[in-house]
């Protein structure tokens, strides 16, 4: 079904008319971070009520993690119009892998820990408000990024910041009394770190040799005129690489704090922008955190941007 069905024919047309006939399905990961405190019945009712108020006939399923991807594949094969995913960044990334290049719109119910893309799209973190937001949202096209063919939506990390993602992944699902002390110990270790990585970046015109404490490749760059780290434009067709050359984790932490406050004038932070990069490393395999998910990749690392490849529900 074409996406013009989302756009009302006139200002007085009720939502029951403009959304009638759309095939809409919601899949909720029962193990997602914030979903752990919500009953499946409450989640199903909350999502159904929000979409019914806008004229949608929606099917809602609350599933264990290993059942999410098969359900996504089934939804794609059935050529539905809208797929709502309730979960964290990893669950959203799994859905995007299957939806990229299709006309199916992805809606995000942010039930994870970080919820990076949901924050960029200004989706509320409260379940009721998020469901109401998505029920009123409109489709928009956004870019996706890839490294060695593996898709990511937000960022790909290596170096000191990767260590935090690795530590967080290892602590996932453990009791808070065990997680919190280990988080603080991990942060102290990263702040004291002076371990650097050696890479060479081919941006298509030159080979740039770098000794870096941390490297982040983002799908489109962060806004530099606002507080907090946010990407308000997701369809610029550019990758942005942020390279920390700080002597220690303390310097990197200060730079991140300045960036959160909208100040990007740190001389030890280098920014490289382009449609693609090839990163060479002395290591045959490199561990990366892509949207928080840890994987190892053969080197060299080939980063690319795929413009407007994914349809997402955004502010209407």
Same domain as 205, residue 63: no
Model confidence pLDDT, tens digit, residues 200-237: 999 989 999 999 999 999 999 999 887 778 999 999 99
Q: What pLDDT does 10 receive?
A: 45
Estimate to the nearest angstrom the gap between the alpha carbon of 37 and the chain centroid: 22
Same domain as 216, residue 254: yes
Asked whether residue 251 is domain-assigned, the answer is: yes
Same domain as 76, residue 9: yes
Same domain as 301, residue 253: yes
Name the domain boundary from 111, 136, 161. Answer: 136
Asked whether residue 196 is domain-assigned, the answer is: yes
Asked whether residue 163 is domain-assigned, the answer is: yes
**3-class SS at 6?**
helix
Residue 264's domain comprises: 150-308
Same domain as 64, residue 164: no
Asked whether residue 145 is domain-assigned, the answer is: no
Q: What pLDDT does 243 receive?
A: 95
- Positive or negative, the CA dihedral 36, 42, 48, 54 is negative
- Enter the pTM of the model: 0.86
Q: What pLDDT does 296 receive?
A: 95
Q: For residue 234, which of 86, 107, 91, 121 has the smallest C-alpha distance?
A: 121
Regions of the chain with pLDDT less than 70: 1-18, 20, 33, 36, 164-176, 178-179, 182-187, 190, 316
CA angle 193, 198, 199 (to 5 degrees): 130
Asked whether residue 315 is domain-assigned, the answer is: no
Same domain as 192, residue 281: yes
């Amino acid at each position: 079904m074409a996406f013009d069905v989302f756009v009302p024919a006139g200002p007085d047309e009720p939502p029951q008319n403009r959304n009638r006939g759309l095939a809409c399905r919601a899949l909720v990961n029962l193990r997602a971070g914030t979903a752990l405190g919500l009953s499946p019945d409450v989640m199903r009712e909350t999502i159904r009520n929000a979409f019914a108020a806008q004229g949608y006939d929606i099917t809602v399923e609350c599933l264990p993690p290993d059942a999410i991807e098969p359900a996504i594949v089934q939804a794609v094969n059935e050529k539905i119009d809208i797929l709502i995913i309730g979960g964290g960044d990893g669950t959203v990334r799994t859905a995007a892998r299957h939806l990229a290049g299709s006309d199916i719109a992805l809606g995000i119910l942010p039930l994870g820990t970080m919820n990076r893309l949901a924050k960029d799209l200004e989706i509320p973190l409260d379940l009721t408000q998020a469901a109401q937001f998505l029920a009123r949202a409109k489709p928009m096209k956004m870019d996706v990024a890839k490294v060695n063919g593996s898709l990511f939506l937000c960022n790909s990390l290596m170096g000191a910041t990767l260590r935090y993602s690795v530590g967080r992944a290892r602590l996932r699902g453990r009791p808070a009394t065990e997680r919190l002390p280990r988080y603080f110990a991990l942060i102290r270790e990263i702040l004291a770190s002076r371990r650097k990585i050696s890479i060479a970046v081919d941006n298509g015109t030159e080979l740039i040799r770098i000794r870096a404490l941390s490297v982040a490749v983002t799908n489109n760059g962060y806004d530099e005129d606002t507080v907090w780290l946010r990407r308000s434009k997701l369809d610029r067709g550019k990758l942005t690489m942020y390279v920390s050359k700080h002597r220690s984790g303390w310097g990197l932490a200060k730079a991140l704090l300045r960036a959160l406050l909208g100040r990007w004038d740190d001389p030890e932070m280098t920014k490289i922008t382009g449609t693609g990069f090839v990163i060479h490393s002395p290591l045959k395999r490199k561990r990366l955190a892509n949207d928080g998910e840890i994987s190892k990749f053969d080197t060299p690392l080939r980063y690319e941007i795929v413009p407007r490849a994914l349809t997402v529900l955004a502010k209407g």
